[in-house]
Structures are given as structure tokens and as C-alpha cells.
Amino acid sequence: MTTVIADPEPEAPRKPLRTKVVESNNQLFRASPLNYLVLVLTFFLSVFPLYWMLVMASRTNDEIVQIPPKLIPGSHLGEHVGALFDNPDVMFAKALLNSFIVAGSITLFVVIFSALAGFAFAKLRFRGSNVLIGLVVLTMMVPVQLGAVPLYMMMDWFGIQGTLPTVILPYLASGFGVFLMRQYASQAVPDELIEAARVDGATTIRIFWSVVLPALRPAAAILGLFTFMTYWNDFLWPYVALSPEHPTVQVALSRLSSGYYTDQSLVMAGTFMATLPLLVVIVLFGRQLISGIMDGAVKA
Amino acid sequence: MSDITAPVTPARARSPWRSRLSRWDQKGSPYAFVSPFFILFGIFGAFPLLYTFWVSLHSWPLLGEHTFTGLDNYQKLLQDPQFWNAAKNTLGLFLVSTVPQYVLALWLAVTLNRKIMARTLFRVGVVIPNITSVAAVTLIFSMIFAKGFGLANWIIGWFGLEAVDWTAHTWSSWLAISMMVDWRWTGYNALIFLAAMQAISSELYEAAAIDGATRTRQFWSITLPMLRPTLLFTTITSIIGGVQLFTEPLLFAPGAGAIQGGTLRQFQTLTMYLIENGFTRFEFGYAGAVAWMIFLLVLIISLINILLVRRISGAD
């Protein structure tokens, strides 16, 4: 398209066809008012449930059940959040801390292990590497939670049933992470740099730490971000595996909502607090998230 | 490898010990580097899946003896109406949520692919639902779909429709759960489609425009065919995700019998049935059989999907 536009030739009358092409292409890419309507509506629908959560978290239970509903936030948010943290059955503060521990340690290990393997697959030649990378891709196709029953038994064998390691250990191997790092390392780490380090007598692990890992930092950040969010939000396995005294935030939420008497405003205050860290992430790193999703889509 | 080892040769002349170390380092390091992934996946991914199969060949209650029963669990499962009900719900929910989701995501991607103001804002907007936790989403939507005071019933009331008990019927619970799934995934898939659309060479569109193809025609004849690999990839991911649908139906009607997915099991999915057998009835053997049936289902649907896509690509 650029070549067509950057073609201000004097003999314009000779090419009416070309001008037409430029026009239709511009039309293709220019947004109409209808497009903006679609976009604004989509934006509204995307944000509305979260807004609604805020409205309900800040209203009393009596106000929540009123018809017609109150459409703007009330004044009780602080009160409900306070009640949430004071409720000894829910252990919300502990649940928040547990979620940070779980998601944080999974993220740390996934990034390191994926970077190590990704570097090896992208830059080191070894027998069987093609077969092994094929296996990595295959592991992405396995629905891991189908192994819930044996995993539950294994945690019993290891003597860690119900504790936080039960929901950390199964997630440390990420096929997606290895694949992502391999793709990134193959274009971001120049071979000459590795060779130069070898000439200087650096061992492979030394090269990894001082040359490769710094170059992989952008991809590591994206992988870390996605991993953290995924396991902050993870539900099924923690719901099955964790004992009542070790809840994560999502498990605490489900417990909050499934009592005989459900305090709706407390549930909504809980979802609000559980969602808050993620909203902070999207405000800070929204742009990187978008490019992460889109780059991953093109490469995969 | 030869050009990597070559510069080391002078060092070998100086110190054979060092060069041997370096050789070991270069031979062994790749395996050492990939081994954490494979060891961890072996223990926590592959082994459980295979061990599930072994367990499924037994009558294996939580407590007490387990006895080898061969394929009995599978035989029982094939005649288990609750299993077929869960299979029906899973496939139904998958179709009801995925088909409109793809149409909307494609439409959204085409829209995002134009020259628009505040591009990043709109893109971040569509991805916000996806980073929100499934549990939170479900609890919020459960409030919106509450029978007495929910927003959904209030809105349909404007049109003179009667309030719906959303969790009580198959159609209404499926609709509500599909909306939760679609809210979370439509924008994400739109971004994936958008990325793929941007990778299509603009020359194709120019050539089509010269031939007088309308924009609609260009979409059907260029955009959609070029998106085929992306659509295949997204569909397989959706299948794997869809078959594992769990949190939305579980928390849609939370409480004592939540794992049954409604009073008449009208929205119990296969994964819920797996968890019910494993961790409510503690019939590990039977749960293992359910797990392997789910696994087979994923394989079969994925294969059908690949064949369909092949067929379509062969057709034009």
C-alpha cells in the first residue's frame, strides 16, 4: 500500500485505476461512525460487570435487592471490606497472602525454567532437540486437570496434602512458557554474542545468566505477567486440593458465596478485593499485555 | 556446533583438562537446561494422566481395598445417564457459547483493524474481561442473573417479559453461563484474530480491489481463508478449555449441591461430574474413567475439527 501512495507521479491522468485503489484501501481502514458505536458498546459491555461489582460492593444488602436497582455506587464499600477482613471464617487476609505466595512462586520458577529450556532449544544444538521440542508442544495439548485424582493421591504420598505446595508444584512446567522463550531467544540473542562469551571461557550456565537472561527480559516480563494472572485466577485444583485452613483468594470467594446465609455485599466486596490487583496490573501493563497476546498469536 | 567449538581449540592445546570440561559443559548443558521442564512435567503432568488410567481399571474407593476390575468402570460409565447428561451439557454449552463468540470476535477484530482513535484504550478495553478471575466473573454474573433482584430480569421487564428463574431451566442456565464464557473470551479471541489479520499482506486486498471485489467479498475471499490456521489453533484451544468448563457452572448456583450443576443437573459439565465422583463420592476408579473419557472426547473433537478445516481448505 505504501508504494502505491508514495508514488506522486506527474502523469496522473494516465492512472485513474491506481487512484481508485488508494481510495478503496483508505476506505477499508477508516473507521465509520458505526464502527465507533460497536467499539464504544463493546467497551461498555467489557467494563460494566466490573462497575456493577463496585456498585453492589458499596451497597447494603437491603439496597442490593431493591427494584428498580440502584445504578450508582453507594457509600458502604469501606465498611464491607472491613467486615470481610474481620470475618474469621473467611480468612481473607490470609487468602490474599496465600494467592500472592502461590502465584508469585509459580511465576518465578516458570520464568526461570522456561528461559533455561527456551535458550537451550533456540541456541544450543543437541541430539534429540527436535523430538523434545515436539514433546513440549504436545504437553500444551494435555488437559492437565484430568489428572486431579492421581495428583490428589500423590500429594498424600508426599505428605503435603492440603498445603500451598500442592497447588504450586503441578504448575512449574509450562510448555507454553518454553515455547514462548524459544521463539523469543532465537531472534533476540545473537549467536556471535554466545560465541564471544565461549571464547572468553564462559561456561554455558554462565552465558545463560550474564548474556542470555538479560536479553530475554522483555519476553520474561510478558510470560511472568500472564503466569501470575493465570494462577492468581486458578480455581479448580486449589478448590479440590487445599484444606480449609489454607485458602487462596478464589477459594475464599467460593466459600464466601456458598454458605447457608449468603451476605451478598460481603461477596461483592470480596470479588472487588480479589479483582483489584489484576486491575492494577492492566492499568500499569495494559499495552504490554495487548502486544503479548498479539505477538503470541502470530508466532504460535 | 563446529563453529561454536572451533574458537576453543587453542585453549585445548594449552590445557587438555579445561577443554575436556568445556566439552562436557557443551554436551551436557542443553540436557541439563531442558530437564527441569521435562522432569516436572513427567511427575505432575504425564504420570497423573497415565496413572488415572491405571486407577480407572480398579474399584478404588478413598478408604478400603482397591480391586482390579478391568474395564468395568468404562462399561458402567457408558450406561450412566448422568454421564451422558454431563456430556450433552458440555457439548451444548460449548456450541452455544463458541459459535456466537467467534462471530462477535471476528466482527470486533475487523472493526479494530480500521484506523481508529484511542486505539490502545479500545484494545485494553476488550482484554479487561479476560484478566478478571473466573470466580469473580461468575459471582458478579450470578448477581446479575439473580431471580428476584437481578439486573437481567429488571431489563427484560422493560419489554414486558416475565422474570426468569435463570438457574432453574436448561435453556436459561445455558444462556447465562454462555454469556459469562463469552464475556471473558470474545475480546481475547478478537485480539488474536486481529493479529492474524494484520499479518495478511495488503497487496492481496489491493489486487482484489482492482478486480472490483467489495469489502464484504474481500472479507469472505481473503480475510477468512487467510485466518484458517489461526481459527484452527483458537478452536483447538477453545475445545480444550470448553471441555474443562467448571468454575462458571459450579459457582452459578453455589451451595451444598453446587457440584451437581442445578437441581436437575441441567448444567453439570463433564469436569464437574469428574470432580463429583472423585471428591464428593470419593470413587477414584470411576472418576478416573470419566477423566479418560473426557480426554478421548478432546482428541475426537480436535480430530474432527482438523479434518473439517482440511476439507474446507481443500474445497477452494
Query: What is the tens place of the pLDDT at every residue in A137-189?
Result: 888 877 777 889 999 999 999 999 999 999 999 999 999 999 999 999 998 88
Residue B67 lies in a domain: no
Q: Does the pLDDT of residue A37 top 70, yes or no?
A: yes
Name the residue in chain B with its Cα closest to that of A145.
Answer: B244
- With residues binned 3-state (H G I as helix, E B as strand, rest as coil), the percentages for chain A, rounded to 5, are 75, 0, 25
Residues B155, B237, single domain; the answer is yes
In this prediction, residues A193-215 reach a mean pLDDT of: 91
pLDDT score recorded for residue A260: 60
CATH number (domain holding residue B286)? 1.10.3720.10
How far apart CA A142 and CA A15 sit, in angstroms, is 56
pLDDT score recorded for residue A11: 39
Residue B202 lies in a domain: yes
Q: Tell me, what's the ipTM? A: 0.85
Contact A126 B41 (CB under 8 A): no
Kindly write down the DSSP assignment for every residue of A15-34, as one continuous string. Answer: -HHHHHHHHHHHHHHBPPHH
Q: Which residues of chain B does A204 touch, with a Cβ-Cβ cutoff of 8 Å?
A: 25-26, 29-30, 33
Contact B125 A42 (CB under 8 A): yes
B280 touches chain A (CB under 8 A): no
pLDDT score recorded for residue A32: 84
Q: Which residues of chain A does B179 touch, with a Cβ-Cβ cutoff of 8 Å?
A: none
Residue B125 lies in a domain: yes
How far apart CA B123 and CA B195 sit, in angstroms, is 12
Q: Does the pLDDT of residue B9 top 60, yes or no?
A: no
What percent of chain A clears pLDDT 70, i.e. is strictly above it?
88
**Domain total in chain B:** 2
pLDDT score recorded for residue B160: 86
Contact A143 B295 (CB under 8 A): yes
Residue B295 lies in a domain: yes
pLDDT score recorded for residue A269: 92
Residues forming CATH 1.10.3720.10 domain(s) in chain A: 86-299
Residues B107, B193, single domain; the answer is yes
Contact A121, A133 (CB under 8 A): yes
Q: Does the pLDDT of residue A14 top 50, yes or no?
A: no
Q: Which residues of chain A does B131 touch, with a Cβ-Cβ cutoff of 8 Å?
A: 229, 233, 278, 281-282, 289
pLDDT tens track for B92-133: 999 999 999 999 999 999 999 888 888 888 998 998 998 888
Q: Closest to A290 (Cβ–Cβ): which among B123, B202, B215? A: B123
Residues B50, B76, single domain; the answer is no
Residues B105, B150, single domain; the answer is yes
Task: Quote the domain boundaries for residue B275.
Answer: 72-315
Q: Does the pLDDT of residue B17 top 90, yes or no?
A: no
- How many contacts, defined by CB atoms under 8 Å, are there between A and B? 330
Residues B231, B291, single domain; the answer is yes
Pick the CATH number of A86-299 from 1.10.3720.10, 3.90.190.10, 3.40.1180.10, 3.30.420.10: 1.10.3720.10
Q: Does the pLDDT of residue A104 top 70, yes or no?
A: yes
In this prediction, residues A234-243 reach a mean pLDDT of: 92
Q: Closest to A39 (Cβ–Cβ): which among B111, B244, B278? A: B111
Which A residues, 100 through 139, put their C-beta within 8 Å of a C-beta on chain B? Answer: 113-114, 116-117, 119-121, 124-126, 129, 132, 135-136, 139
Choosing among A37, A111, A146, A282, which should be mutated to test the B contact, i.e. which has the most B CBs within 10 A? A146
Residues B153, B209, single domain; the answer is yes
Residues B76, B110, single domain; the answer is yes
| Cell numbers 494484520: residue | B198
Residue B66 lies in a domain: no
Q: Closest to A240 (Cβ–Cβ): which among B123, B129, B279? A: B279
In this prediction, residues B215-244 reach a mean pLDDT of: 87
Residues B244, B307, single domain; the answer is yes
Residues B52, B172, single domain; the answer is no
Residues B125, B207, single domain; the answer is yes
Q: Does the pLDDT of residue A20 top 50, yes or no?
A: no
pLDDT score recorded for residue A261: 64
Contact B148 A65 (CB under 8 A): yes
Q: Closest to B48 (Cβ–Cβ): which among A1, A151, A175? A: A151
Residue B61 lies in a domain: no
Which B residues, 61 through 100, put their C-beta within 8 Å of a C-beta on chain A? Answer: none
B195 touches chain A (CB under 8 A): yes
State which of B56, B82, B101 marks the end of a domain.
B56
Residues B89, B22, single domain; the answer is no
How far apart CA A139 and CA B128 sit, in angstroms, is 28
Q: Which residues of chain B does A205 touch, with a Cβ-Cβ cutoff of 8 Å?
A: 29
Is the torsion defined by CA of B70, B76, B78, B82 positive or negative? negative
Residue B62 lies in a domain: no
